[in-house]
A and B are shown apart, each in its own frame.
Chain A
Amino acid sequence: MILALVFIPLLSALAAMLIRPDRPRRRLLVATAAIHSALTAACWVSPGTAAPGAWVGLDAAGRLFLGITSLLFLAAAIYASHSLGQGRAARGRQTEEDTGSVFVNAPEAVFTACLLVFLSTMTLVVSSQHLGLLWVAVEATTLATAPLIYFHRQPSSLEATWKYLLVCSVGIALALLGNFLVVVASAAPGGAHGTLLVPDLVARGARMQAPWLKAAFVFLLVGYGTKMGLAPMHTWLPDAHSEAPSPVSALLSGALLNCAFLGILRAHSICVAAGLGDFSGQLLAGFGILSMGLAAAFIANQPDYKRMLAYSSMEHMGLLALGAGIGGAAMFGAMLHAVNHSVVKAALFLLAGNFLAAYRTKSIARVGGAIRLLPASGWLWLAGLFAITGMPPFGTFASEFTMLREAFAQGRIALAIAALVALAIAFAGMSRAFLGMALGRVPEGVVAGRERASAVLPSFVLLAVSLGLGLWIPHGWASVLEQAARLSGGGAP
């Protein structure tokens, strides 16, 4: 089953390179996404048990993140099949009014193929039970996404791609050192029986050698933390997420950051099993709160709405790290929040794509009256504002509440208050920008056609999922979240 999930997108990518006409290729993209989602749903309905010693297998955490990835990819694929068709009228040439540069797009076949390879590598990340395989898969996601970020052939995208490629490759190389250190930590004094299999490592528990494991965790945290966008290794994130085409931004923020988070969680669970949970938890919480603070500062005065969304992703990744670091019920909250953040942020990035197409600018000041110009996108944008800032009844409220309540319950008052302050600053900055864009007057000379269902429906469904999770978490879901939290060294409320 897992092999099918990994290889079907790969084969489709190959086919996408060979298909000449655009329409069938777009249909192939959506069809592959649908097949992937169906297989993922099958994995949820009847979770098989992984054979002991197997390199790939879906545990609860893997299933959870696979579900997010697959759902988001389906939404992004439907959206992309529509947005790729838009460029036709202008014969491929587009102008960006912010910088005045005229650009063409990269060949669509390459774009589609890279998108499908991206899906395949993310699937491999979430189903890896072997830290070495996990590393290979995470690095492969970087390589598959670099051409996607450089889809609009213009200088700013190129700059973003170079930063992304270099910073993430170097960061992930450090995670490889972390893997070596894990082997050393797990080996018996004679040097034999070193392993990288996560279940084996967890089973060894306190027999791991603590100093080496600590060093390994630091390297893994810095390495995968670079990819996850934790401060101060986040420098590539706002550039890449704002320069990429919107469906890619949605996948980067919603799915890829989670994959890196899963890598860190695997390392954390090994530390918890070895009795070093306090050490790794403190580090996670520290990086988390730092990311939240820095992101909030950049959100407050941000003039570019895609960058604002990118910094908001960084803030929520900080929140996830904080929740995982606090542990206990906060780990459950972090799992729930990972789902909520992913669906909401992907919805917002797709809506941002609609605004970019209509207004031709990323500047917040030059977008206005979206509710009148693009009614569906405008109203969804407002709903998204409430969802991303953690207002009830959206699911984000429930997950943030769970994490902060646990922080207070553990007596970590200062940490919880700092997180609340960062959330409040982000709320103020985002609501000012979002309200100005949705309300206000439409700038002169901006006209938009009818909104197409494929441009709005994905965002609507994603936001509805977040709303649904805020009102009621189905029993089966709750138990998967709980198992995932326990696997990662936390608990449930």
Chain B
Amino acid sequence: MNNAIDSILIFLVLTDLILLGSSRLKNAIRFVALQGLALGLLPMLAHSQGVVWHAVLLGAGSALLKGFVFPSLMNRALRETNANREIEPFVGYISSLLIGVGVLALSFWSGARLSLPWEAASLLLVPAGLFTVWTGLFLIVARRKAITQVLGYIAMENGIFTLGMVLVEAMPLLVELGVLLDIFVAVFVMGIIVFHINREFDHIDSDQLAALKEGPP
């Protein structure tokens, strides 16, 4: 059991690093989708008392959403907007990777320092989750396209989902499903807005959305 969980978490960390270094939007979408699929297995594995229908439902729902629905939404947005397939970063790929490695070390350090009141399913759970959250946040601030920011948001959500696995037993199913529904609608609405941004401005570079910026007081 534990080996499977660890492999998934290592896969998560590796895909984060790929996301930081990849220059193709299509690739980035694919890897975020793979993350979502792999994470769908976690709730079933993380439960200590074998298979629980609550965990199976949660995992299947999340895998379906993040593995299939989101990528098809994003690919559609990409096609419709005819966006340049490059990611166009503010921070270069190499420096992004270097920052990523630094943050990874930091995540492991802080993960080791936080002593959970109980044994988590895997020692890697907290560091991998933290690292994914930071990667998502970094993608949101350091990439230019609106669509990459949506990807960053999904990656961040993946990280939070991983951290939530520490306490699978305490979160009621209804709330988890509510969270999933909210995220689904959020990404859906974001997709629509990306589409409108493209029609209104002929680009989806969010850094050029600066008409409302305030001067110094």
**Chain A positions near chain B (C-beta within 8 angstroms):** 99, 130, 132-133, 135-136, 139-140, 142-143, 146-147, 150, 153-156, 158-163, 165-166, 169-170, 173, 176-177, 180, 183-184, 187-192, 194-196, 209, 212, 238-239, 242-243, 297-298, 300-301
Contact check, B211 vs A165: say whether CB atoms are below 8 A apart: no
Chain A residue nearest in CB terms to B179: A136
Nearest 10 A/B pairs, CB to CB? A191-B118, A132-B175, A194-B170, A136-B178, A297-B217, A159-B209, A139-B182, A239-B212, A183-B170, A183-B167
Chain B residue nearest in CB terms to A238: B214
Q: Which of B79-131 contact A (CB under 8 A)?
A: 116-119
Residues of B within 8 A of A298 (CB): 214, 217
Residues of B within 8 A of A180 (CB): 160, 163-164, 166-167
CA distance A146 to B187 in the complex (A): 12
Interface core residue of B149, B175, B212 (most chain A CB under 10 Å): B212
Q: How far is the CB of B157 from chain A (nearest CB, A)?
A: 6
Q: How far is the CB of A166 from chain B (nearest CB, A)?
A: 6
Contact check, A132 vs B171: say whether CB atoms are below 8 A apart: yes
Chain A residue nearest in CB terms to B163: A180
Q: Which of B123-157 contact A (CB under 8 A)?
A: 133, 137, 140, 146, 149, 153, 156-157
| Known A166-B153, A169-B153, A194-B167: A243·B197 in contact at CB below 8 Å | no
| Known A132-B175, A170-B140, A180-B166: A162·B117 in contact at CB below 8 Å | no
Contact check, B196 vs A158: say whether CB atoms are below 8 A apart: yes
12 contacts between A and B (CB under 8 A): A99-B211, A136-B182, A139-B179, A139-B182, A139-B186, A142-B186, A155-B201, A162-B146, A165-B193, A180-B167, A188-B117, A239-B212
B-side interface residues, number (CB < 8 Å): 42
Contact check, A177 vs B160: say whether CB atoms are below 8 A apart: yes
Q: How far is the CB of A56 from chain B (nearest CB, A)?
A: 12
Interface SS majority for chain A:
helix
CA distance A270 to B137 in the complex (A): 29
Residues of A within 8 A of B166 (CB): 180, 184
Contact check, A177 vs B197: say whether CB atoms are below 8 A apart: no
Q: Which of B156-204 contact A (CB under 8 A)?
A: 156-157, 160, 163-164, 166-167, 169-172, 175, 178-179, 181-182, 185-186, 189-190, 193, 196-197, 200-201
CA distance A343 to B134 in the complex (A): 40
CA distance A147 to B192 in the complex (A): 10
CA distance A87 to B211 in the complex (A): 25
Contact check, B163 vs A165: say whether CB atoms are below 8 A apart: no
Contacts A132-B179, A158-B201, A158-B209 known; list 11 others, CB within 8 Å.
Answer: A132-B171, A136-B179, A143-B182, A143-B185, A143-B189, A162-B197, A169-B153, A169-B186, A170-B137, A177-B160, A243-B212
B22 interface residue (CB < 8 Å to A): no
Contact check, B193 vs A301: say whether CB atoms are below 8 A apart: no
